[in-house]
Structure 1
């Protein structure tokens, strides 16, 4: 394709390129589009593909012109990429397009390029490591969570208190002076913000089977702005009250939780799990500090489109409402940029040092996991493949190899 290419602006990963397509090339594209239309369109009085070319061009002039334009821009983009040897990060944007009869077609391509990382320095860094000691308080908190998981809800005759599970029939008058009506039954745990404070206060004054009707003021920070600060008449019937009863922390509880002979054995296992978790957190912090040092010594830009795409992924994962997407994006943009830089550094080191996960690495990892689970490696492989998790495991292996390589070449100091 005969086109003129003139680079205009270059900043970081952004490129602006002026493209000019000669009149002859434009006409060829229009002729090609016209022939395609002439061979396929149906016009009254003519068999398919037999309508006169002049009639087809006249009737479908705008469609032919649009098809020619799209073909020219598409082919020109491909030629720009090939001639300039560009590795693009996202789809291009066309600006300042001028498509006038009898004149060259001109437009400006705005491109984002994939970053090229030199990483001239990846060693000689000093990284601090913060190894956390598991405290008796943390152990007690985890044991309490286990007790809570095994707790049961038992009916009580006393008035409810925070933490109790109640079933209430709640009716609310829409306007002052109206009767609240019959209402609906709701289960809720008191003290967890499932009902507004005024409603919870009424519930905790009632005994099982009792009905209380009184005015309640809605909080000034209530999510529905139209109801903030309003006072409404509510009618509450307390149907029943249940109180959580957690099992005693003893040997019997340890046996119920798992294969533990005694409470001491359970405590040892829980402490071991907490220590392993603390080690993983410390490892992750060291890895991120390593990446931050490398990025600081080898700065590079990241494509905005990648950042926006990752932010959209975060928003969808967290189910952020559309009206909250903008502030969410502002909050998570730095995190997204950091994640992209991390991935690019890992990819660059893995490629340069030949550290990417191999098929043998994957087989060994799956065999190791299968042995721990007591199942056949082939069976586990099939399960992981079906769940689409093989790429995730490959990535984990690659990251482990990259960070092992980096840790050999940098100093890690434990914080005192």
Structure 2
């Protein structure tokens, strides 16, 4: 077999492959003989069909099968022979039968070869924060709010109060589907309703009726209502204000704290958890900042096959998350057309580009995973579990789980390598701002 190759782009190679006719004929004749032993043709006993008859009746089809199989096998032989780092499946073109050879062309995408621009040109913001007493008190209040109850009030409805009411909506004097409900409960300020609806209820009291005017957003999901002015008749039945639970023995018990240990133990535990969140949040922030700067500073030509694989991975991940949230029945209603490639393309390209650049840094810097950092990462993570020793044992001995942690630690090592060379500016932020940024990053 003869092979030549040429570059057709930075991420594609064209192979010209020539397979001797003798190899094709040898396999063709062998397959004819095997077929003769199994084929059924009228006038001949099973296994006694002459090869010439099989050649006449089935030769053309068998020959094409042999050609297809030879191309399938030899194209990967050719890729190995030319030491091509291929990604995706090769595309076969221009198949010809010549007197002495079967000749074809194959185009295959290759892993991009990149040069990472000097890291000292990167500008990276590294944020820091600390948890103070006020942050802990706010978190305690949030824990109370999660378990709050409601107490009736005769006063006016205000933001953060819960209102129970009946409503009936009309557009141009006509009722519309989904525009009415009885005993509907709404926490004012939650943003559940269209703009202006909740504002119209603020100030109302139990037993009060009122008609409020609102306008549906232009991008409202029901096209027949989008942008339309509407009137809602509101009948308030109950106004309730939030009632936070006392931080007493019963409340402390929820968190496994005895009355003797008291609220100070709860605060200490809360602070410890918050500090762990801060540590992870800061690590994620600087990692995102470093990787974003790296991607922005380097151009990489991406193979379409790698992008397509990443798009499919992200699509499957979203379907899996949907299944976990809504169950198997909900997943069945998920049509692939609801998740087109364009939905993932931008993020997929960024992810593939980052992966290529990080791999290049790992190779150039000869970075290898630090086993001590892996152990420290596992031990730190285990402190949030009831039995840390059991968790440590599991992650250290499960190859798959340990490999995932090693990948995370190796990424952290790449970040440290980038930061050591880049221009880094340190910024102090509040715990609350860090939390908001982290939530926005997760949603984005």
Query: Could you say which residue in structure 1 is the equivalent of 2:401?
Result: 389
> How do residues 48-63 of structure 1 correspond to structure 2 at under 5 angstroms?
49-57=47-55, 59-60=57-58, 63=61
User: Within the alignment, does 1:150 sit opposite 2:147 as a pair?
Assistant: yes
SS at the partner of 1:18?
strand
Query: Could you say which residue in structure 1 is the equivalent of 2:12?
Result: 14
Q: Kindly indicate whether the alpha-carbon contact (under 8 Å) linking 2:300 and 2:353 is maintained by their aligned counterparts in 1.
A: no
Which one is further off, 390-399 or 257-266?
257-266
User: Within the alignment, does 1:86 sit opposite 2:63 as a pair?
Assistant: no
Out of 347, 352, 355, the position equivalent to 1:337 is 352
TM-superposed deviation, 1:27: 3.5
Distance 1:372 1:88, change over 3 A: same
Aligned partners of 1:180, 1:121: CA distance in 2, in Å?
A: 61
Which one is further off, 64-73 or 211-220?
211-220
Query: Could you say which residue in structure 2 is the equivalent of 1:229?
Result: 227
Q: Deviations over 1:344-366 (max 9, x none)?
A: 1465368x45x2466x9867765
TM-score by length of 1: 0.69
Distance 1:29 1:80, change over 3 A: same
> How do residues 16-35 of structure 1 correspond to structure 2 at under 5 angstroms?
16-35=14-33
Q: Deviations over 1:119-160 (max 9, x none)?
A: 8988x8897663423486766654553343232344555565
Q: Deviations over 1:370-389 (max 9, x none)?
A: 67756374675448878953
User: Within the alignment, does 1:328 sit opposite 2:340 as a pair?
Assistant: no
User: Within the alignment, does 1:246 sit opposite 2:244 as a pair?
Assistant: yes
Query: Could you say which residue in structure 2 is the equivalent of 1:317?
Result: 317
Q: Deviations over 1:28-53 (max 9, x none)?
A: 44434444444444456656544444
Aligned partners of 1:285, 1:308: CA distance in 2, in Å?
A: 28
Q: Deviations over 1:209-242 (max 9, x none)?
A: 7887898753322123343134667676666554
Structure 1: gaps spanning 5 or more residues: none
Query: Could you say which residue in structure 1 is the equivalent of 2:327?
Result: none
Out of 133, 149, 156, the position equivalent to 2:129 is 133
TM-superposed deviation, 1:68: 1.9
Q: Deviations over 1:43-91 (max 9, x none)?
A: 5665654444455455545653442233122112122122112232322
Q: Deviations over 1:271-319 (max 9, x none)?
A: 6655554454444555566667888999865544223322333344345
Distance 1:216 1:47, change over 3 A: farther
Q: Kindly indicate whether the alpha-carbon contact (under 8 Å) linking 2:131 and 2:274 is maintained by their aligned counterparts in 1.
A: no
Aligned partners of 2:167, 2:31: CA distance in 1, in Å?
A: 69
Distance 1:83 1:324, change over 3 A: closer
Q: Kindly indicate whether the alpha-carbon contact (under 8 Å) linking 1:23 and 1:103 is maintained by their aligned counterparts in 2.
A: yes
Which one is further off, 261-270 or 299-308?
261-270
Aligned partners of 2:58, 2:351: CA distance in 1, in Å?
A: 47
Structure 2: gaps spanning 5 or more residues: 323-335, 428-444
SS at the partner of 1:20?
strand
Distance 1:255 1:75, change over 3 A: closer
Size of the alignment, in residue pairs? 408
TM-score by length of 2: 0.66
Q: Kindly indicate whether the alpha-carbon contact (under 8 Å) linking 2:197 and 2:212 is maintained by their aligned counterparts in 1.
A: no
Q: Kindly indicate whether the alpha-carbon contact (under 8 Å) linking 1:166 and 1:240 is maintained by their aligned counterparts in 2.
A: yes
Aligned partners of 2:198, 2:292: CA distance in 1, in Å?
A: 49
